[in-house]
Amino acid sequence: MIIDAHAHYTTAPAKLQSFRARQIVSQARPGPANLNISDEELEQSMRGQFKRMDDTGIDRLLFSPQASAMGHHFGSELISRHWSEACNDLIARIAKLWPGRVSPVCQLPQSAGVSPGSWVEELDRCVREQGFIACNINPDVGGGREPLTPSLADEWWYPLWEKMVELDIPGTIHASASLHPAMHLTSSYYIGQHHNAAVELLSSRVFQDFPGLKLVIPHGGGAVPYQWNRHRGMHVREGLEPFEEAARRVYWDMAIYDTEGMEMLIKRVGSDRVLFATEMFGAVNAIDPKTGRNFEEVVPLFEAVPGLSDEDRYNITEGNAKRLYGLP
Amino acid sequence: MIIDAHAHYTTAPAKLQSFRARQIVSQARPGPANLNISDEELEQSMRGQFKRMDDTGIDRLLFSPQASAMGHHFGSELISRHWSEACNDLIARIAKLWPGRVSPVCQLPQSAGVSPGSWVEELDRCVREQGFIACNINPDVGGGREPLTPSLADEWWYPLWEKMVELDIPGTIHASASLHPAMHLTSSYYIGQHHNAAVELLSSRVFQDFPGLKLVIPHGGGAVPYQWNRHRGMHVREGLEPFEEAARRVYWDMAIYDTEGMEMLIKRVGSDRVLFATEMFGAVNAIDPKTGRNFEEVVPLFEAVPGLSDEDRYNITEGNAKRLYGLP
């Protein structure tokens, strides 16, 4: 069994983006969405994902709204809430239509300059009323501009960690749109933000204060495994716990499209801390001229990782996700 | 022979920082430095570097002012100019005192919101009057805050590239202080910025417009080799030249403190594109409890990289640097 811990709804019907566009027009008097999307439209929008799953042997998606479209920098707290509700409600419907294939992961109604305490009501609604099993957390709410977001190490975030522990809900750190003109969104901003999230969290006292908190760093941790000794050295220099121990306080997803990268990640954080992940359809939805396969076809890349035991492979594709998300 | 392509003057006499502190006080009426530092003080300040060189077999340093202290976000254009002149003049004196061991690399008087055309006069002075052989280039002049710096792919930077080509002077991309409260300077901000620099440059037309431009990406390119297929996929998706070819338009320095990381870098960009580098004394100036050696002792880490020919090793420690910087 293969569980894909990182897939986004990047193929939603245009009606969803039409509502988003209307949010620009009606920014001064925002209202909730009324999307009027049929089950048939949802089915059409999911055909690509299900075909990829069938073709490559993926059994279940942890499925969340499109990350770049979360756009928490835009508009007021209420605009962000209406948008998040619309996106999450679609994910909930898809998970109810295909319970055997899709597990729902929500976005949060984050809004720049607004305390995390204001985001937890939507998380509660998603989990208790709609059966969501995890959430995505944008570590850079304003997209790199003012008001700048405090470090994930900061107590500013604690109301969110408290709620996640109360609900026993894991979260994946995932940035959204960037307002920086000099950064490529998926090739650079995401990599830098998710690397940074690992650095901040693993050098913090967050896991002392919230021993039950479950967080996932996506995209193989940015540069963390490759720059491993830089992080080890920083932890020595700053008197922190050994970095190789700190690194095991979180999970790391394997959406890196690269056999050697996967090998390095698994070797460094341990096979019991890695989650199989494709991020389909995401940053590199294109055919690799070297293999003739889509870059996001992660299964054969993972199969080629040398030196893994059956237990390692079980952990990464199934066991870790079942344990982390409480899946049957 | 081993040439270290990346070393900073992080041990300058306190008189240099005293001048910097006075720049805060006299921000409204800035004046040039009058440091009054003796040759003996310079000699004392360099003992650690020379000992490390002797102990580990490094023959020559490419030596530049402390990168984090460049602080181009601070004050006016004139303040940045005075500060850069003071820092560069010390490097020039050190290179003249120890011409057999130190080659001078200058910082530029960059200033947020000011065109690169204003920085080239100091570069010209350093090269023509003082014998500098390279420069460092801050890709994020304002330290992450407004005014945001245009992408390195942007024509905004062209006056600097023109001058570097005219003088035939290579440059290393190197960020300075960060104003972002949620980012660790050396573990995260530098890694993200240098990764981003590679992404922007290698997807740009800069090397078509300046075929003679010589640029170095430090710290093993951030996450680039580890996330190799993500970049290959982005180049396919955006119709750019194959990433593996683009990656050979620059040099990559090996200040990554990690044998497996070095192996991955060399394998991916080629041994003719990698420069030996320590960044001493820098981010991880601490003893590794696993080896008993300083993390920044790069020589034994590099010696342990498997599968390299004598020619590969010559290229990385000596040949590439001699060719790139025109060293004898």
pLDDT single digits (tens) A113-172: 999 999 999 999 999 999 999 999 999 999 999 999 999 999 999 999 999 999 999 999
- Which of B324, B326, B245, B321 has the alpha carbon at shortest distance from B59? B321
The span from the CA of A110 to the CA of A142, in Å, is 9
pLDDT value, residue B46: 98
Distance from C-alpha of B268 to C-alpha of A145, rounded to nearest angstrom: 34
- Residues (pLDDT < 70) of chain B are none
Q: What is the mean pLDDT of residues A27-49?
A: 97
CB contact under 8 A, B257 and A223: no
A145, A222, A295 member nearest B233 (Cβ): A295
B156 touches chain A (CB under 8 A): no
**A vs B: CB pairs below 8 A:** 216
pLDDT at residue B237 in the model: 97
Are B284 and A230 within 8 A, CB to CB? yes
Distance between CA atoms of residues B3 and B189, nearest Å: 26
Structure tokens, A49: 């994902």
Cβ burial of B187 (10 Å; 0-12, 13-18, 19+) is buried
What is the pLDDT, as a whole number, of residue B164? Answer: 98
Q: Is B279 a catalytic residue?
A: yes
The pLDDT of residue B212:
97
| pLDDT at residue A32 in the model | 97
Put simply, whether A234 touches B (Cβ < 8 Å) is yes
Closest CA to B284 of B270, B303, B302, B297: B297
Give the β-pairing of A215-217 and A171-173. Answer: parallel
Cross-chain residue pair B257–A195, CB shorter than 8 Å: no
pLDDT reported for residue B268? 98
d(CA B51, CA B54): 5
Length of chain B: 328
Specify the pLDDT at position B162: 98
What is the DSSP annotation of B217-271?
A: E-GGGTTTTTTHHHHHHHHHHTTPSPHHHHGGGSEEE-TT--HHHHHHHHHHH-G
| Whole-structure pTM value | 0.97
Q: Percent of chain A scored above 90 by pLDDT?
A: 99
- Looking at residue A18, its pLDDT comes to 97
Predicted local confidence at residue B29, as pLDDT = 93
SS3 assignment, position A227: coil
What backbone torsions phi and psi does residue A79 show, to the nearest 5 degrees? Answer: -60, -45
Residue with tokens 């199969």: A303
pLDDT tens sequence across A242-295: 999 999 999 999 999 999 999 999 999 999 999 999 999 989 999 999 999 999
Alpha carbon distances (Å) from A250 to A201, A268, B98: 9, 13, 49
Percent of chain A at pLDDT above 70?
A: 100
Count of other CB atoms within 10 angstroms of residue B61: 28
pLDDT of residue B14: 97
Query: Which of B202, B230, B231 to probe by mutation at the A interface, max A CB count within 10 Å?
Result: B230
What part of B 19-58 touches A (C-beta under 8 Å)?
none
* Residue A287 backbone phi and psi in degrees, to 5: -85, 130
In angstroms, what separates the C-alpha of A151 from chain B's closest C-alpha? 4
Answer whether A181 sits within 8 Å of B151, measured CB to CB: yes
ipTM of model: 0.97
| pLDDT score, position A104 | 98
